[in-house]
Amino acid sequence: MQQLMAHLLNHINYILGNNSSGEIAKLRTDMNLRDEVGLDSFDMAELTVRLEMEYGIDIFEGGVVYTVGEILRKLEKENVKE
């Protein structure tokens, strides 16, 4: 879980950095992706593509996710190896 979290943080900071937004230092599972992590709908769309390219999973398939924890649970459910 910790490794997946660190990996997700890298992806998020890559997106925020590429799009001229400030990077974040740490993720918590209860963080809201939009209001606390600072991802807008375009950033979230990009995150789904990057995670899909890496893990083959569309994290938004079957409904919008709102928190860091929900993404991690989706990845874990699909048996993504850390």
b/e per residue, 20-30, with b = 16+ CB within 10 A? eeeeeeebeee
Site residues, other proteins (CB under 8 A): 17-20, 34-35, 40-42, 44-46, 48-50, 53, 58, 60-61, 63-64
Residues 6 or more apart whose CB falls under 8 angstroms from that of 29 comprise 5, 67, 68, 69, 72
Give the shortest CB-50-to-other proteins separation in angstroms.
7
Q: Which is nearer to other proteins, 2 or 41 (CB)?
A: 41
Q: Which is nearer to other proteins, 46 or 75 (CB)?
A: 46
Q: Which is nearer to other proteins, 5 or 44 (CB)?
A: 44
Place of tokens 């963080």: 31
